């Protein structure tokens, strides 16, 4: 017998029992009698009414609260697994998901229990239950009275200054400001009004579009998604970000030096899109929903683009230096420069630090998108972005998930002793070949269990690894020989101290990127890796460009940038096979 079916009636009986128990208390009866008097006596009818029907309204209100929640849930139907209700609304959010029976009941019961306690003095809970406020807003929480008319008037005033009251992309900065949006919303606003197709937007079309957005989308996350999404979707896929990022490349002062080098635009855009999905798309669905966007810091970063002229300060997504490091690292491995790398290429990363077993797992499809590339045994530049960030910072949630997917050979959501031994065996062999005595697996296992302290012995879950704060040490022990030896040299205690004192310091990734960038620039200054027409007196900006120009000059082919904004379209084509709803 399914346990749910047994459980639910029993819970209901318990609720009834508690209710009867409460009802039979003499204090309750006295209070009810008192309330009845108040109903019959004129003056305070609302209180009495609420009280007399106490259990009724409670249930009704809960049902009413659940009902509207179901509808927007349907909007999200295309079904990114999981992340529907915002975590901020957790206690009530749990009750909203109509399918999970127990939490709903749990909430109701605890409300009733609380009523028993407070009932005696003051009949408060029924009044509160009358107005359980709406708590699920997939398109943002409606703000009080926003004066749409004033905003529209401001927009119309701005358009009046343009020839024929039509705005081109160049005018959109002023339109964005009239809308009250951060400057770099200009391209999304332009796209949202169909400007991409026609080259300019009429005042009527824009106002109609923005009015609709203001009416339906109540916060920045919902608006941003609405402006860039494909009609009928409620999420953003990778290519939806292209117009926005192409505009950043075209107009951000921190990227001005990249202006003529249009061949690098697509590389930069590809990189930033991957970083956005890496950090924001916590569900790994390939679709960023409003809820995911809202939980992330992406829109704050978009707003910062306006204030920060040095794009390298925006290390989370937009940093040019970070892009530069990732691209150069890829370039070193992709010897034939077809923008694909095979397992042998990837194995050369960091001087063969990563085990072959792990390299094979990366190519197994556990952490990559796109069947086509996978079938040919190669991964793309976009996949490499995920790899490098995960490899160099094993403490972030996405990174911990990335390596967990790789190590969980059977995909059962736990790392078994067998799976750990499978990876450790190669580490031992490699240590042997370096004439270093490896710890027997049993001893290593003890150390690791001590480090991770899994909740259930005999297997390690994702949750265990996220909680333990030393996922990097754990992972490196099993597949990165170089970093494993590094960790070994440090005391575990000092590792912990390091972790604890971390705070808002640089992340492992930021440290890595900064160090590597300096090395690359120094190498470039010394004329080491690519020396064609290099001159020693170049500004750092020119150095950067030169460094990029030289590898690209050797490329056998290059896609011409399309009007939309050039990104490695084949990546999205192959990714699209997986992503399009069937």
Binding site for Ca ion (CB under 5 A): 334, 336, 338, 340, 408, 410, 412
Nearer to Ca ion, 132 or 333 (CB): 333
Cβ 105 to Ca ion, closest distance in Å? Answer: 34
- Number of CB atoms found within 10 A of residue 346's CB: 23
Nearer to Ca ion, 166 or 267 (CB): 267
Give me the residue label for tokens 């969980």. 408
Nearer to Ca ion, 313 or 344 (CB): 344
Is residue 241 within 8 A of residue 228, CB to CB? The reply is yes
Phi, psi of 270 (to 5 degrees): -55, -45
Cβ 450 to Ca ion, closest distance in Å? Answer: 21
CA distances from 145 to 58, 150, 207, 222, 236 (A): 30, 12, 19, 18, 29
Cβ 473 to Ca ion, closest distance in Å? Answer: 20
Nearer to Ca ion, 151 or 569 (CB): 569
Is residue 292 within 8 A of residue 280, CB to CB? The reply is yes
Region for residue 284 given its phi and psi (left: phi exceeds 0; alpha: psi -120 to 50; beta: otherwise): left
Cβ 337 to Ca ion, closest distance in Å? Answer: 6
Q: How far apart are CA 497 and CA 488, in angstroms?
A: 15
Nearer to Ca ion, 417 or 439 (CB): 417
Nearer to Ca ion, 412 or 486 (CB): 412
Cβ 284 to Ca ion, closest distance in Å? Answer: 17
Q: How far apart are CA 113 and CA 75, in angstroms?
A: 35
State whether residue 456 is helix, strand or coil. coil
Residues 6+ apart with CB under 8 A from 200: 166, 167, 168
Cβ 369 to Ca ion, closest distance in Å? Answer: 18
Is residue 427 within 8 A of residue 478, CB to CB? The reply is yes
Is residue 215 within 8 A of residue 204, CB to CB? The reply is no
Nearer to Ca ion, 318 or 530 (CB): 530
Cβ 335 to Ca ion, closest distance in Å? Answer: 6
């Amino acid at each position: 017998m399914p346990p749910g079916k047994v459980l639910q009636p029993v819970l209901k009986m318990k609720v009834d029992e508690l209710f009867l128990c409460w009802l039979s208390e003499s204090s309750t009866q006295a209070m009810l009698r008192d309330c009845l008097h108040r109903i019959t006596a004129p003056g305070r009818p609302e209180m009495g009414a609420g009280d007399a029907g106490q259990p009724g309204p409670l249930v009704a209100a809960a049902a009413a609260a659940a009902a509207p929640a179901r509808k927007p849930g349907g909007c999200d139907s295309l079904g990114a697994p999981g992340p529907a209700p915002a975590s901020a609304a957790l206690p009530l959010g749990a009750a909203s998901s109509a399918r999970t029976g127990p939490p709903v009941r749990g909430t109701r019961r605890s409300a009733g229990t609380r009523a028993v306690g407070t009932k005696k003095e003051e009949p408060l809970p029924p009044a509160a239950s009358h107005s359980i406020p709406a708590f699920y807003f997939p398109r943002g929480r409606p703000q009080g009275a926003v004066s749409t008319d004033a905003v529209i008037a401001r927009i119309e005033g701005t358009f009046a200054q343009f020839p024929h009251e039509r705005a081109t992309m160049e005018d959109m900065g002023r339109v964005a400001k009239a809308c009250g949006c951060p400057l770099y919303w200009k391209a999304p606003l332009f796209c949202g009004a169909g400007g991409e197709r026609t080259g300019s937007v009429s005042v009527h079309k824009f106002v109609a579009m923005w009015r609709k957005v203001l009416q339906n989308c109540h916060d920045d996350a919902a608006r941003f998604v609405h402006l860039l999404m494909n009609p009928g979707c409620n999420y953003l896929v990778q290519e939806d970000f292209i117009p926005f990022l192409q505009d950043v490349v075209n107009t951000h002062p921190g990227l001005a030096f990249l202006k003529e080098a249009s061949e690098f635009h697509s590389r930069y855009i590809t990189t930033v899109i991957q970083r956005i999905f890496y950090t924001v798309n916590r569900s790994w669905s390939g679709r960023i929903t409003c809820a995911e966007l809202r939980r992330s810091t992406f829109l704050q970063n978009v707003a910062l683009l306006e204030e920060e002229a040095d794009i390298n300060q925006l290390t989370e997504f937009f940093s040019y230096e970070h892009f530069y490091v990732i691209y150069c690292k890829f370039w070193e491995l992709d010897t034939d420069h077809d923008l694909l790398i095979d397992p042998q290429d990837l194995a050369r990363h960091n001087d063969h630090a990563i085990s072959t077993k792990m390299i094979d797992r990366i190519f197994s499809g556990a952490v990559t998108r796109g069947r086509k590339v996978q079938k040919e045994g190669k991964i793309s530049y976009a996949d490499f972005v995920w790899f490098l960030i995960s490899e160099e910072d094993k403490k972030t949630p996405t990174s911990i998930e990335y390596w967990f997917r790789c190590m969980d050979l059977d995909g059962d959501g736990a790392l078994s002793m067998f799976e750990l031994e499978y990876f450790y065996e190669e580490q031992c062999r490699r240590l042997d070949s370096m004439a270093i005595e490896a710890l027997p697996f049993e001893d290593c296992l003890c150390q690791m269990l001590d480090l991770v302290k899994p909740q259930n012995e005999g297997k390690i879950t994702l949750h265990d690894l996220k909680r333990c704060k030393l996922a990097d040490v754990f992972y490196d022990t099993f597949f990165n020989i170089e970093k494993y030896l590094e960790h070994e040299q440090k005391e575990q205690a000092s590792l912990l101290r390091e972790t604890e004192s971390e705070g808002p310091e640089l992340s492992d990734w930021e440290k890595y990127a900064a160090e590597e960038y300096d090395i690359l620039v120094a190498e470039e200054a010394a004329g080491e890796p690519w020396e064609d027409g290099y001159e020693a007196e170049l500004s750092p900006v020119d150095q950067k460009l030169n460094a990029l120009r030289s590898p690209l000059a050797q490329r056998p082919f290059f896609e011409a940038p399309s009007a939309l904004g050039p990104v490695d379209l084949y990546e999205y084509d192959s990714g699209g096979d997986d992503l399009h709803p069937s």
